[in-house]
Amino acid sequence: MHYADIKKADIANGLGVRVSVFVSGCTHHCKNCFNSEAWDFNYGKEFTR
Ligand code: SF4
């Protein structure tokens, strides 16, 4: 699995403070997607333990 980004203290994607993981890969290809560079499942960094 690859990921585009990890926000360790995110206040923009829900209530309170949280960790957000933005996993790479999407097959929907929506017309106005603001994150099309991450459609590729190999985009970003490899997730390792
Ligand atoms: S907006 Fe972008 S990332 Fe979200 S489902 Fe559509 S194509 Fe995928």
pLDDT digits (tens, 9 = 90+) for 1-46: 999 999 999 999 899 999 999 999 999 999 999 999 999 999 999 9
Interatomic CA distance for residues 30 and 14, integer angstroms: 22
Q: How close is the Cα of 24 to the center of ligand 1, in Å?
A: 11
pLDDT recorded at residue 40: 97
Query: In angstroms, what is the span from residue 21 Cα to ligand 1's centroid?
Result: 15
- The reply to whether ligand 1 has any atom less than 6 angstroms from the CB of 4 is no
Q: Which helix (H) or strand (E) holds 5?
A: strand 2-10
User: How buried is residue 24: exposed, middle or buried, by Cβ count under 10 Å (0-12/13-18/19+)?
Assistant: buried
pLDDT at residue 49 is higher than 90: no
| d(C-alpha 42, C-alpha 14), whole Å | 27
Domain ranges of the chain: 2-46
CA distance 27 to 16: 30
